[in-house]
Chains A and B, each alone.
Chain A
Amino acid sequence: MGGNQDISEALQADVVQAAESGQQLCLQGGRSKDFYGRELIGEPFDLNQHRGIVDYEPTELVITARGGTPLTEIEAALTAQHQMLPFEPPHFTEASTIGGAIASGLSGPRRPWFGAPRDLLLGIKLLDGRGQILNFGGQVMKNVAGYDLSRLMAGSLGTLGILLEVSIKVLPLPPQETTLLFEADTENAHAITQRMCLDATPISGSCHMDGQLHIRLECDETRVLQLRNRFGGELVEDAEIFWRALRDQQFAFFQTDVPLWRLSMPPAADFQLPGKQLIEWGGALRWFKGDHSMEAIRSAVSATGGHAILFLNGDRSGEIFHPLNPTIALLHQRLKKVFDPKFIFNPGRLYPE
């Protein structure tokens, strides 16, 4: 912990060389998400040593850190000031970095109410595929000067450039958290969650699995008592462990050899495909295992207005992410060329190039 070094010049020299020789690079931070996205191609290119918190002033609600900084280090610094990363990034291992968290675009249970990496990312320092160091966005909450190329990097899986630094909006930790447990089938679980959401209940997490609905609330005992009178539910002790295990996918549900699908859809979508589901985000995120063809799953999810990612297992050289409309696919190719004209970064990690 606590390593603090700026190796951007060395990284820049390496990228310039790779661009000249056409050497493809497989960008690696903590390697906790190697399983995610399409297969890894290219020479491993380690970004871990470019690390450390560059600037953090709690009252500005912004932290700036180098991409290789471990999430644990950032969260420790924030917790000491009673603050948090609002998107609650998963740590699939202890080595997860902030650069990887932003590049993957993945969020934890808090996401529907507090935003995703793209919502909280305020600015970046980017090393592009020509070896240029570029600054977009900044460290302020509101900034409409130029196109918002910072947010474009969130979820781009390193295909556009290396995140040398990221500036992220942070928020105060909730003073109190309580978790309620309801015995409920999918339909009832949905009804409870929806009524709570419409009622402006301070929810910060929902999880329905095996007939049990967990709801995390950010409020004091008085409010919890009111809510229990209204909605029922039992208090859960030590719920923090539960939510962390959900965030980091430690439940048995996720320990699997079969294809695990991540389905993103409208929260009230009527999704009836037979299979095993774990439902988060008030219904907007559904983890799914079922014996169906890729086409069957994709078309069922598309019908709701959502999309499906083959999150874990299955053929990693195939269509991991939902196929794009041809015009949008063309825009992807053109944008790739803008940032990485020699196609050296994470080739094909998102879509075949």
Chain B
Amino acid sequence: MQGQSDNNSLRRQQQRRILADAFLKMLPADAVIFREEELVPYECDGLSAYRQVPLIVLLPYDTGQVQAILRYCHTNKIPVVARGAGTGLSGGALPHEDGVLLSLARLNKILEVDQSNMRARVQPGVRNMAISDAARSQGLYYAPDPSSQIACSIGGNVAENAGGVHCLKYGLTVNNLLEVTLITIEGERITLGGGGLDSPGLDLLALMTGSEGMLGVVVEVLVKLLPIPTKAQVILATFDEVEAAGNAVAAIIANGIIPAGLELMDNLSLRAAEAFIHAGYPVEAAAILLCELDGSEEEVAVSVKFVCSILKQSGASEVRISKDDTERQRFWAGRKAAFPAVGRISPDYYCMDGTIPRKQLAMVLKKIAEMSQRYDLRCANVFHAGDGNLHPLILYDANIPGELEKAEKFGGEILELCVAVGGTITGEHGVGLEKINQMCAQFPDAELEIFHAVKAAFDPHNLLNPGKAIPTLSRCAEFGAMHVHAGQLRFPELERF
């Protein structure tokens, strides 16, 4: 065995040397990273449970270099994993053992903010938040706001079809893109979408969005910008029963209101958040709802009043309205820090990302509570109530023998429940490597075969991010999951949803 692993290590060293020599001929020296100690920082993305040191890391400066890299990899059949800011939560940017890790971090320029067409042209390594920062002076912003928006890059947002708190009203990444330029595995540069609101032929832009780096490498993005709303206010409503909070969500929507954000937290998660952030949450509540309304001064005044009356009719025991923007931010701060807050009350937690039809919320939460008793593990729930995206956080201690396996089983059961009630295994974190096995619970073989055929249409030799997002039919057996041990979630400073 020892001899085998030495052989393997030797083989990798040789292969690394060959690739380094080849890439040093086409790229500047500082764009090629091949020393073991310099490769380690790239061994995982935001999901640190999975680690793999890549053969080599490439940091090109421009699109021409990206093309040259992909052409070489195509010719020599080298796997390529594209990486943005590395904040993803599903292992989508986990390196390949025998492959190139292609970082787009140096393609980080905002090329144009075009006020008259309300759009911005940016390179993939530009941070999500940086787009809104650049557009602010022109009264515009980029709407999708994943919680990692201060660090995550737009290229990664395209790859994952990132969401955010405001996506019920303003849409996901796919709804806010005009055009994406990408490099195919053959090194061809193609542009999908265009300057208008639609483009000729099949909607490859929609197909590309959320394809997890499996179909091409994004090198330029044209995003839609929206005018900044004049006013935004948050209502914090307290409920003595979770079910009443769920019904209040339905009542708000039934009354024709689409809030800019609508979030639910159960007692365990709101207690953890309150202890951490001191947002002023009512710690005795069974659940709270946070409802943001935006628009003109008058519109917000009218709709806040209306929503407050709906919430009271739905059984809210207390309703508070943010007095100013500072209080609005404070109400949100607790919600946005829910993951790290839960990390403080348990040695480990396991984060799920299922989406369910909203009407199933009360039932799903009740079943999760039953499972929690059965598995004897606590579970905190935070919920994008507006769009049905549920994040149960299973609390466990990996140092107790058998507890990790128990948490995994518990999580698997939750995801199966999400699929069973008409939902999905992942609403926004992506499949990556983490949920690859759970894809088997969601899709029958015929659909999986179509997915593989679509992949082959773009990447016949399976070189782009191989092994991610879509399980092979033979693999459909086991289940993986995201584990966070003792706060080892990378980028702990980031807000996580």
Q: Give me the interface of A with B, judged by CB distance under 8 Å.
A: 57-62, 82, 105, 111-112, 115-116, 118-119, 128, 132, 134-136, 138-149, 151-152, 154-156, 160, 171-173, 175, 194, 197-200, 202, 219-220, 222-223, 263-269, 281, 284-285, 304-307, 309, 321-325, 327-328, 331-332, 334-335, 337-339, 350-351
The answer, yes or no, to whether B442 is at the interface (CB within 8 Å) is: yes
Give me 15 other A-B pairs in contact (C-beta within 8 A), A140-B356, A199-B227 excluded. Answer: A115-B175, A118-B203, A138-B423, A140-B387, A140-B423, A142-B167, A142-B388, A142-B389, A171-B258, A198-B118, A200-B228, A305-B196, A321-B200, A328-B190, A331-B204
Whether B202 lies near A332 (C-beta < 8 A) is yes
Residue pairs across A and B with Cβ atoms less than 8 A apart, 23 shown, are A59-B253, A59-B359, A105-B198, A111-B197, A119-B174, A128-B450, A141-B387, A142-B387, A143-B355, A144-B161, A146-B442, A147-B215, A147-B470, A148-B209, A152-B204, A155-B202, A156-B202, A172-B257, A198-B227, A267-B118, A269-B195, A331-B457, A331-B458
Interface residues in B156-209 by Cβ distance below 8 A to A read: 160-161, 163, 167-168, 171-172, 174-175, 184, 186, 188, 190-192, 194-204, 206-207, 209
| Cβ contacts B457-484/A at 8 Å (1 or 0 each) | 1100000000001100000000000000
Whether B439 lies near A307 (C-beta < 8 A) is no
State the CA gap A119–B224 with chains docked (Å). 14
State the CA gap A220–B295 with chains docked (Å). 13
Whether B450 lies near A338 (C-beta < 8 A) is yes
In the assembled complex, how far is the CB of residue B25 from the closest CB belonging to chain A, in whole angstroms?
Answer: 26
Whether A338 lies near B457 (C-beta < 8 A) is yes
Which one of B198, B202, B457 lies within 8 Å of A264 (CB-CB)?
B198
The answer, yes or no, to whether B250 is at the interface (CB within 8 Å) is: yes
Sorting the interface of chain B by its residue count into under 10, 10 to 19, 20 to 34 or 35 or more gives 35 or more
Which one of B117, B229, B458 lies within 8 Å of A266 (CB-CB)?
B117
Residues on the B chain within 8 Å of A321, using CB? 200-201
Instruction: Check A200/B227 contact, CB under 8 A, given A146-B439, A151-B207.
Output: yes
**Which of B55-63, B99-107, B285-293, B425-433 lines the interface with chain A?**
B425-433
Whether A119 lies near B230 (C-beta < 8 A) is no
Interface residues in B368-424 by Cβ distance below 8 A to A read: 384, 386-389, 422-424
Residues on the A chain within 8 Å of B3, using CB? none
Whether B358 lies near A60 (C-beta < 8 A) is yes
In the assembled complex, how far is the CB of residue B158 from the closest CB belonging to chain A, in whole angstroms?
Answer: 12
Whether A151 lies near B190 (C-beta < 8 A) is no
Residues on the A chain within 8 Å of B347, using CB? none
Which one of A82, A141, A142, A327 lies within 8 Å of B188 (CB-CB)?
A327
Whether B168 lies near A141 (C-beta < 8 A) is yes
Which one of A58, A82, A149, A198 lies within 8 Å of B207 (CB-CB)?
A149
State the CA gap A118–B209 with chains docked (Å). 12
The answer, yes or no, to whether B447 is at the interface (CB within 8 Å) is: yes
Instruction: Check A82/B256 contact, CB under 8 A, given A142-B384, A331-B457.
Output: yes
Interface centre among A112, A136, A146 (most CB of B within 10 A): A146
Residues on the B chain within 8 Å of A335, using CB? 202, 454, 457
Whether A332 lies near B201 (C-beta < 8 A) is yes
The answer, yes or no, to whether B116 is at the interface (CB within 8 Å) is: yes
Instruction: Check A350/B256 contact, CB under 8 A, given A57-B359, A145-B439, A146-B431.
Output: no
Interface centre among A60, A134, A331 (most CB of B within 10 A): A331
In the assembled complex, how far is the CB of residue B431 from the closest CB belonging to chain A, in whole angstroms?
Answer: 6
The answer, yes or no, to whether B139 is at the interface (CB within 8 Å) is: yes
Minimal Cβ-Cβ distance residue in A for B423: A140
In the assembled complex, how far is the CB of residue B176 from the closest CB belonging to chain A, in whole angstroms?
Answer: 10
Interface centre among A58, A59, A62, A264 (most CB of B within 10 A): A59
State the CA gap A119–B205 with chains docked (Å). 12
Whether B202 lies near A148 (C-beta < 8 A) is no
Whether A152 lies near B202 (C-beta < 8 A) is yes
Which one of B115, B299, B454 lies within 8 Å of A198 (CB-CB)?
B115
In the assembled complex, how far is the CB of residue B282 from the closest CB belonging to chain A, in whole angstroms?
Answer: 26
Whether B210 lies near A147 (C-beta < 8 A) is yes
Residues on the A chain within 8 Å of B174, using CB? 119, 148, 151
Which one of A58, A116, A149 lies within 8 Å of B450 (CB-CB)?
A149
In the assembled complex, how far is the CB of residue A336 from the closest CB belonging to chain B, in whole angstroms?
Answer: 9
Whether B200 lies near A322 (C-beta < 8 A) is yes
The answer, yes or no, to whether B18 is at the interface (CB within 8 Å) is: no
Interface residues in B195-246 by Cβ distance below 8 A to A read: 195-204, 206-207, 209-211, 214-215, 226-230
Instruction: Check A116/B198 contact, CB under 8 A, given A141-B355, A145-B425, A145-B426.
Output: yes
The answer, yes or no, to whether B10 is at the interface (CB within 8 Å) is: no
Which one of A59, A145, A199, A223 lies within 8 Å of B442 (CB-CB)?
A145
Residues on the A chain within 8 Å of B388, using CB? 140-142
State the CA gap A264–B204 with chains docked (Å). 17
Residues on the B chain within 8 Å of A145, using CB? 424-426, 431, 435, 439, 442-443
Residues on the A chain within 8 Å of B454, using CB? 147, 149, 335, 338
Residues on the B chain within 8 Å of A141, using CB? 167-168, 355, 386-389
The answer, yes or no, to whether B487 is at the interface (CB within 8 Å) is: no
Instruction: Check A136/B447 contact, CB under 8 A, given A144-B426, A331-B458, A338-B454.
Output: yes
Instruction: Check A140/B355 contact, CB under 8 A, given A149-B454, A335-B202.
Output: yes
Whether B201 lies near A140 (C-beta < 8 A) is no
In the assembled complex, how far is the CB of residue A303 from the closest CB belonging to chain B, in whole angstroms?
Answer: 10
State the CA gap A14–B309 with chains docked (Å). 55
Whether B197 lies near A112 (C-beta < 8 A) is yes
Instruction: Check A139/B357 contact, CB under 8 A, given A307-B200, A321-B200.
Output: yes
The answer, yes or no, to whether B1 is at the interface (CB within 8 Å) is: no
State the CA gap A306–B447 with chains docked (Å). 34
Minimal Cβ-Cβ distance residue in A for B427: A142
Which one of B160, B197, B207 lies within 8 Å of A285 (CB-CB)?
B197
Residues on the B chain within 8 Å of A142, using CB? 163, 167, 172, 355, 384, 387-389, 424, 427-428
Residues on the A chain within 8 Å of B191, using CB? 325
In the assembled complex, how far is the CB of residue B437 from the closest CB belonging to chain A, in whole angstroms?
Answer: 12
Whether B426 lies near A200 (C-beta < 8 A) is no
Residues on the B chain within 8 Å of A146, using CB? 431, 439, 442-443, 447, 451, 469-470
Minimal Cβ-Cβ distance residue in B for A151: B206
State the CA gap A135–B447 with chains docked (Å). 7
Interface residues in B92-146 by Cβ distance below 8 A to A read: 115-119, 139-140
Whether A151 lies near B211 (C-beta < 8 A) is no
State the CA gap A296–B215 with chains docked (Å). 34
In the assembled complex, how far is the CB of residue B412 from the closest CB belonging to chain A, in whole angstroms?
Answer: 15
Residues on the B chain within 8 Å of A306, using CB? 194-196
